[in-house]
């Protein structure tokens, strides 16, 4: 009665099964793929071994300890031309992070504003934002960087324009100057506090007389105060929510919160003796203060407006994705437009916006490598530029360069993905 | 109940009031202005700010364009003509136009060839772009074009591109004959046939280098916007098949294949394109045979293609993941093997979903071709920064050149993205 097909015989493993049987075929394919890969990389390696240049020089990271012998125009940590290549690379990495961080922050602000304004009821604002987005999205970022660099180097006044009794240009509020070399900004320092700056020989005689200046470690104190304020404000808000849940009335926390934010930090800064070093025109140039070079300004500004256009599109898509029913339901509950946005639409839109935002941040970080086009000394400019050219260690330099960007990208995406997972909808 | 009102109410209207015209402030331009520009006081402020911004932009731009001059052969002459009236000195564009387009090394008397190739592009591309309106055989034009364009731009004997094309043809024929005996066998046969033809063609081209010969131009001579276009088009076309393979590999159940694809994609996406260009410039030569002659443009094409294929792979992976699982199961239940299921069921749908993303990658890649100026290749940006701004005649002129570069890139990129949006609407055939 039963016409069951014969059960597969467990006997005899034949070689043809490796091709015909689905169970074994995957092993065959993988073996072939593996062999092909090994052959390919073996071919590359054998070429490298036979290469006359590489054979002579070998692969050696020892050059990193040698003195670099070149100057870096933006030094967040002390550096002289006698410092090692490794230190130069380290400074380059910090400079990369500085501009990436600044650009991420401003691009987010610009992008959110432009994205929201593109949905505005106002026709002319809508169209202007559309022009902004399309213009920046469709023209290469390298061109924008170069254009903005050209503007800052050719349109802004020279430092000498600030001289004389009736100068052509004057500093903003008397403390900051926009010149064609960059922006001179006041520099904060502490006169009172832990540690002391080592007696550094001033770079030139015109520099302000060295004062008793407390060390930069005091910024950690400032940071600690800010973090404490942050947690205190969170505790107050949690208490307010609890009261609201219990009584139905939310106590007013605005003044308490403002006080918690501002009073401790102001007191701390007064105790530490915060002073500002204002840039002053001496001789042909400004002295003192912080100089944000126009290479930094161009890179920062161009990356911000360029990526801001992309973020604007992400924000717009995120807001549009929230169905109209949500807005209408919120309005029916009697919420005002502002609260509809902040309580109903934005929390939901954020879930859609964050993943593309992460990749925009990664794009900014990778695009900072275009610094080399305007002479900003980021990692690509130091390690991948001057160090590579001076030592001729191309393979080692580029390996390190790639490793840095790779690790940085992976870390950022890991952190942001963790954040994304925490705000994502919890589904079964 | 209503009849009781007749006594209690003093007046009941019994005829309809004729409709009155809406109030003046609720009609026409006034209403539009009120709704779109001055709805609230905040909106009114925004409008005024926007108008001011527009005024600032236009008051700078309009005199610059209107008063601009196209005469003169140096900045000094130009300034003399302009007499400081705020106009632009567009003569630099007129004088250096060929350099902006072709670079400064492409021979003058051969420029008709890339120009012809460029215009043929408009014949060759529509069959691929508007496939739904044109008969399928027109795709042959598209297929022939790459080989023809290569011959026109680089020159040399026609045998090289001819046999390259014949190789693909032979490979395709062999594949379609052997394929019914198994996909892998067909692939192997196709590969074998193609390699055989290419080998034979290589011999023949080496033997008769003067057969139907156009004057050869070395790769180094490529420059200007032409270089951007070449890099963009070649790399996007090459990276599509690689991207599809990588995406399938990443979805694969075979750990070795999947592992390789994941590592490759994540590595390439984690590093900036510029480091890959450095690799092409200084490192890649170490890993290629010492005697082989890979010129810089070829090495750059290799690296940009690797770069783009990783991004395209991620886009296609998104498309594959977006397909309902039922499609995969349906293909399995029909008894299709992996290759058949992918070719007939999965990829057509997944690629359709991925088109907008692929176009985004293509636009991004085209913009990124400007990065080759950093490794001292003279593309459009490289030409402007290098030979033109460094020349004595035109040193100190920026805005006209950058504006031209912006307009050229904007035209191409905006055109592509508009096409992609149109295509998306065309392909929206499902009921959603």
Residues B51, A125: Cα–Cα separation, whole Å: 9
> Shortest Cα distance from A287 to chain B (angstroms)?
29
Contact A117, A133 (CB under 8 A): no
Residues B35, B37: Cα–Cα separation, whole Å: 6
Task: Return the closest-CA partner of residue A318 out of A12, A112, A22.
Answer: A112
Q: Which residues contact A302 (CB under 8 A, 6 or more apart)?
A: A141, A144, A145, A147, A148, A149
We find that the CATH architecture of domain B97-158+213-406 is Orthogonal Bundle (1.10)
> Shortest Cα distance from B223 to chain A (angstroms)?
17
Which residue of A122, A134, A402 is in closest CB contact with B36?
Answer: A122
* Radius of gyration from C-alpha coordinates of chain B: 30
Cα-based distances in Å from A229 to A234, A266, A400:
9, 12, 40
Q: For A187-201, A206-220, B220-234, B398-412, which range has the lowest pLDDT when averaged over its residues?
A: A206-220
Are A406 and B282 an interchain contact pair (Cβ–Cβ within 8 Å)?
no
Contact B319, B350 (CB under 8 A): yes
Task: List, in order of start, the domains of chain A with CATH numbers.
Answer: 52-146+295-428 (1.10.3720.10), 187-275 (no CATH)
Cα-based distances in Å from A102 to A97, A98, A353, A365:
8, 6, 20, 11
Hunting for tokens 């003569």 — which residue is that? Answer: B91
* pLDDT score, position A206: 40
pLDDT-based confidence at residue A138 (cuts at 50, 70, 90): very high
pLDDT in tens, A245-257: 898 888 888 888 8
Are B385 and A125 an interchain contact pair (Cβ–Cβ within 8 Å)?
no
H or E element: which one contains B147?
Answer: helix B139-154
- Token couple for B246: 């990588």
Residues B250, B15: Cα–Cα separation, whole Å: 76
Residues B145, A391: Cα–Cα separation, whole Å: 45
**What percentage of chain A reaches a pLDDT higher than 90?**
21
Instruction: Enumerate the residues of chain B whose CB falls inside 8 A of the CB of residue A409.
Output: 269-271
- The mean per-residue pLDDT over the stretch A113-121 comes to 87
> Shortest Cα distance from B7 to chain A (angstroms)?
41
pLDDT at A428 over 60: no
pLDDT in tens, A85-100: 888 888 889 999 999 9
Interface-testing mutation among B282, B291, B303, B420, with chain A (most A C-beta atoms within 10 A): B282
> Shortest Cα distance from A414 to chain B (angstroms)?
12
Q: Give the number of A-B residue pairs with CB atoms closer than 8 Å.
A: 149
* Other Cβ atoms closer than 10 A to A195: 12
> Shortest Cα distance from A11 to chain B (angstroms)?
26
Residues A315, A350: Cα–Cα separation, whole Å: 8
Torsion angle (degrees, nearest 10) of CA B289, B293, B296, B298 = -90
Instruction: Enumerate the residues of chain B whose CB falls inside 8 A of the CB of residue A372.
Output: 274, 374
* Other Cβ atoms closer than 10 A to A77: 9
Which residue of A34, A121, A405 is in closest CB contact with B275?
Answer: A405
C-alpha triplet A40, A42, A46: angle, nearest 5°:
120
- The mean per-residue pLDDT over the stretch A379-396 comes to 85
Contact B362, B54 (CB under 8 A): no
> Shortest Cα distance from A149 to chain B (angstroms)?
11
Which residue of B43, B270, B413 is in closest CB contact with A121?
Answer: B43
Beta strands in A94-232 (DSSP E): 177-179, 182-185, 187-190
Nearest CA in chain B to A28: B254
Residues A61, B347: Cα–Cα separation, whole Å: 46
- Token couple for A309: 């256009």
The ipTM (two decimal places) reads 0.87
Nearest CA in chain B to A19: B184
> Shortest Cα distance from B51 to chain A (angstroms)?
8
Instruction: Enumerate the residues of chain B whose CB falls inside 8 A of the CB of residue A120.
Output: 43, 46
* pLDDT score, position A12: 63
Instruction: Enumerate the residues of chain B whose CB falls inside 8 A of the CB of residue A147.
Output: 398, 402, 406
Nearest CA in chain A to B289: A47
* pLDDT score, position A64: 81
Contact A404, A361 (CB under 8 A): no
Residues B312, B265: Cα–Cα separation, whole Å: 10
Nearest CA in chain A to B400: A147
* pLDDT score, position A202: 43
Q: What is the 8-class DSSP label of residue A372?
A: G
* pLDDT score, position B114: 87
Q: Which residues contact A108 (CB under 8 A, 6 or more apart)?
A: A308, A311, A357
Residues B102, A319: Cα–Cα separation, whole Å: 44
Which residue of A51, A150, A398 is in closest CB contact with B290?
Answer: A51
> Shortest Cα distance from A265 to chain B (angstroms)?
34
pLDDT at A112 over 50: yes
Predicted TM-score (pTM) of the model is: 0.85
* pLDDT score, position B7: 65
Which residue of A122, A138, A373 is in closest CB contact with B37?
Answer: A122
> Shortest Cα distance from B182 to chain A (angstroms)?
11
* pLDDT score, position A196: 57
Are A406 and B260 an interchain contact pair (Cβ–Cβ within 8 Å)?
no
pLDDT at A10 over 80: no
Torsion angle (degrees, nearest 10) of CA B241, B244, B245, B247 = 160
pLDDT-based confidence at residue A165 (cuts at 50, 70, 90): low
Contact A292, A183 (CB under 8 A): yes
Are B385 and A369 an interchain contact pair (Cβ–Cβ within 8 Å)?
no
Interface-testing mutation among A22, A24, A124, with chain B (most B C-beta atoms within 10 A): A124
Nearest CA in chain A to B338: A22
pLDDT-based confidence at residue A307 (cuts at 50, 70, 90): very high
Task: Return the closest-CA partner of residue B238 out of B312, B348, B344.
Answer: B312
C-alpha triplet A393, A397, A401: angle, nearest 5°:
170
Burial class (CB in 10 A: 0-12, 13-18, 19+), B89: buried
- Token couple for A242: 């609890």
* pLDDT score, position A207: 41
Which residue of B254, B286, B398 is in closest CB contact with A54?
Answer: B286
pLDDT in tens, B49-64: 989 999 998 988 888 8
Instruction: Enumerate the residues of chain A whose CB falls inside 8 A of the CB of residue B402.
Output: 143, 146-147, 150
Are A138 and B363 an interchain contact pair (Cβ–Cβ within 8 Å)?
yes
Three-class DSSP category at B295? coil
* Other Cβ atoms closer than 10 A to A31: 12
Which residue of B54, B266, B272 is in closest CB contact with A405?
Answer: B272
> Shortest Cα distance from A239 to chain B (angstroms)?
35
pLDDT in tens, B340-366: 888 888 888 888 888 888 888 999 999
Nearest CA in chain B to A406: B270
Are A139 and B367 an interchain contact pair (Cβ–Cβ within 8 Å)?
yes
DSSP B231-253: HHHHHHHHHHHHHHHHHHHHH-S
Domain ranges of chain B: 23-61, 97-158+213-406, 159-212
Nearest CA in chain B to A409: B270
Characterize A349-360 residue by residue with b for buried, 16 or more Cβ atoms within 10 angstroms of its Cβ, and e for exposed. beebbbebbbbb
Contact A116, A337 (CB under 8 A): no
Per the DSSP assignment, residues forming a β-bridge with A282 are: A285
Residue B309 phi/psi, 5-degree rounding, is -65, -30
Are B272 and A367 an interchain contact pair (Cβ–Cβ within 8 Å)?
yes
Residues B60, B87: Cα–Cα separation, whole Å: 10
The terminus-to-terminus CA distance of chain B in angstroms comes to 50
Hunting for tokens 């594959």 — which residue is that? Answer: B320
Which residue of B35, B271, B371 is in closest CB contact with A142?
Answer: B371
Q: Which residues contact B314 (CB under 8 A, 6 or more apart)?
A: B247, B265, B269
Which ranges of chain B have pLDDT less than 50?
432
Burial class (CB in 10 A: 0-12, 13-18, 19+), A409: buried
């Amino acid at each position: 009665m039963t016409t069951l097909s014969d059960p597969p015989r467990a006997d005899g493993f034949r070689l043809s099964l490796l091709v015909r049987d689905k169970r074994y075929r995957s092993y065959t394919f993988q073996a072939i793929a593996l062999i092909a890969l090994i052959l390919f990389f073996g071919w590359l390696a054998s070429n490298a071994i036979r290469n006359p240049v590489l054979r002579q020089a070998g692969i050696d990271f020892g050059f990193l300890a040698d003195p670099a012998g070149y100057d870096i125009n933006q030094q967040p940590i002390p550096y002289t031309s006698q410092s090692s290549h490794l230190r130069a690379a380290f400074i380059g990495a910090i400079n990369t992070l500085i501009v990436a961080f600044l650009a991420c922050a401003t691009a987010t602000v610009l992008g959110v504003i432009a994205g929201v304004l593109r949905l505005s009821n106002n026709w002319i604002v809508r169209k202007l934002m559309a022009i902004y987005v399309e213009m920046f999205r469709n023209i290469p970022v390298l061109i924008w960087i170069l254009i903005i660099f050209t503007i800052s180097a050719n349109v802004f006044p020279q430092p000498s324009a600030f001289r004389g009794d009736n100068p052509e240009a004057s500093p903003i509020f008397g403390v900051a100057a926009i010149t064609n070399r960059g922006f001179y900004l006041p520099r904060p320092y502490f006169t009172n506090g832990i540690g002391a700056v080592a007696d550094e020989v001033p770079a030139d005689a015109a520099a302000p007389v060295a004062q008793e200046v407390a060390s930069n470690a005091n910024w950690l104190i400032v940071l600690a105060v800010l973090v404490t304020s942050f947690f205190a404000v969170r505790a107050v808000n949690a208490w307010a929510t609890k009261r609201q849940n219990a009584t139905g009335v939310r106590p007013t926390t605005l003044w308490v919160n403002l006080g918690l934010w501002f009073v401790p930090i102001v007191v701390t800064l007064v105790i530490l003796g915060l002073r500002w070093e204002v840039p002053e025109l001496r001789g042909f140039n400004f002295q003192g203060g912080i100089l944000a070079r126009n290479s930094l300004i161009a890179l920062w500004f161009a990356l911000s407006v360029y990526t801001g256009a992309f973020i604007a599109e992400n924000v717009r898509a995120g807001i549009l994705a929230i169905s109209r029913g949500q807005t209408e339901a919120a309005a029916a509950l009697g919420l005002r437009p502002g609260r509809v946005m902040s309580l109903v639409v934005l929390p939901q839109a954020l879930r859609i916006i964050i993943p593309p935002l992460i990749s925009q941040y990664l794009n900014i970080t990778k695009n900072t490598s275009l610094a080399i086009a305007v002479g900003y000394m980021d990692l690509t400019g130091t390690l991948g530029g001057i160090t590579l050219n001076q030592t001729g260690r191309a393979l080692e330099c580029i390996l390190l360069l790639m490793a840095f960007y790779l690790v940085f990208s992976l870390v950022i995406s890991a952190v942001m993905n963790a954040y994304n997972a925490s705000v994502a909808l919890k589904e079964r | 109940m209503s009849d009781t009102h007749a006594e209690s109410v003093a007046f009941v209207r019994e005829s309809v009031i004729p409709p009155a015209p809406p109030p003046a402030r609720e009609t026409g331009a006034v209403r539009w202005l009120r709704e779109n520009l001055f709805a609230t006081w905040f909106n009114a402020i925004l409008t005024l700010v926007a108008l001011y911004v527009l005024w600032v932009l236009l008051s700078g731009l309009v005199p610059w364009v209107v008063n601009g001059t196209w005469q003169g052969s140096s900045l000094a002459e130009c300034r003399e003509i302009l007499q400081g009236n705020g106009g632009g000195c567009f003569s630099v564009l007129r004088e250096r136009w060929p350099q902006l387009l072709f670079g400064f090394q492409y021979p003058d008397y051969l420029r008709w060839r890339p120009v012809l190739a460029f215009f043929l592009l408009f014949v060759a591309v529509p069959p691929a772009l508007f496939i739904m309106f044109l008969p399928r055989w027109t795709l042959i034009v598209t297929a022939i074009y790459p080989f023809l364009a290569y011959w026109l731009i680089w020159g040399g004997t026609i045998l090289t591109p001819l046999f390259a094309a014949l190789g693909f043809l032979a490979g395709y024929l062999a594949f379609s004959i052997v394929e019914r005996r198994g996909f892998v066998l067909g692939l192997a046969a196709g590969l074998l046939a193609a390699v055989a033809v290419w080998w034979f063609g290589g011999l023949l081209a080496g033997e008769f280098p003067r057969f139907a010969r156009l004057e050869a131009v070395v790769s180094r001579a490529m420059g200007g916007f032409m270089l951007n276009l070449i890099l963009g088009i070649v790399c996007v076309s090459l990276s599509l098949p690689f991207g599809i393979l990588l995406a399938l590999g990443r979805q694969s159940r075979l750990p070795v294949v999947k592992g390789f694809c994941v590592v490759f994609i994540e590595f390439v996406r984690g590093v900036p394109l510029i480091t890959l260009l450095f690799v092409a410039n200084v490192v890649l030569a170490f890993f290629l045979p010492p005697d082989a002659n890979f010129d810089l443009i070829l090495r750059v094409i290799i690296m940009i293609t690797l770069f783009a294929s990783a991004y395209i792979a991620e886009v296609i992976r998104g498309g594959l993941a977006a397909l309902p699982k039922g499609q995969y199961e349906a293909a399995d239940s029909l008894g299709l093997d992996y290759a058949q299921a992918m070719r007939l069921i999965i990829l057509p749908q997944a690629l359709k979903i991925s088109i907008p993303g692929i176009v985004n990658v293509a636009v991004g890649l085209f913009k990124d071709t400007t990065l080759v100026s950093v490794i001292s290749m003279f593309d459009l940006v490289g030409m402007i920064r290098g030979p033109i701004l460094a020349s004595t005649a035109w040193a100190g002129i920026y805005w006209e050149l950058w504006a031209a570069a912006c307009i050229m890139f904007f035209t191409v990129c905006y055109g592509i993205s508009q096409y992609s949006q149109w295509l998306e609407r065309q392909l929206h055939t499902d009921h959603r």
